[in-house]
Amino acid sequence: MAWHFRNAEKEVKTTLMAKAKEVYNRHGFDVLTVSKRFENVPSGRDRGDACIYILRSLFGLDWEERVNVKPS
């Protein structure tokens, strides 16, 4: 999962990034900082597995039936 922060104000971005990294590290996620975004992946998993894991954790095993993705 990638978090994009290019449009965030610097003070907000710094605070949110620190908190997010703390939470992800506490739960065993690796955090990769890339240009204007950071990505988090559970240790030992690839990005696809990581996305499915997070969606199941947040929305349940039937997330595919309950979550709609709409382009912005």
Strand order in the sheet with 29-34: 2-4, 37-42, 29-34
**Rounded to a whole number, what is the largest CA-CA distance in the chain?**
37
φ/ψ of residue 65, rounded to 5: -85, -20
Total domain count, the chain: 1
**39 part of a folded domain:** yes
Residue at 31 is within a domain: yes
8 A C-beta contact, residue 30 and residue 43: yes
Q: Give me the pLDDT at residue 69, please.
A: 76
**Residue 28 located in a structural domain:** yes
Identify whether 16 is part of a domain: yes
For residue 54, give its domain range. 2-66
Per-residue pLDDT in tens (0 to 9) along the chain, 72 residues: 777 777 888 888 888 888 888 888 888 888 877 777 777 776 776 778 878 888 899 999 999 998 887 776
Coarse DSSP helix, strand, coil percentages of the chain, rounded to the nearest 5 percent: 45, 20, 30
Question: For residue 62, is it within any domain?
Answer: yes
72 domain residue, yes or no: no
Is 7 within a domain? yes
Q: What is the pLDDT of residue 44?
A: 73
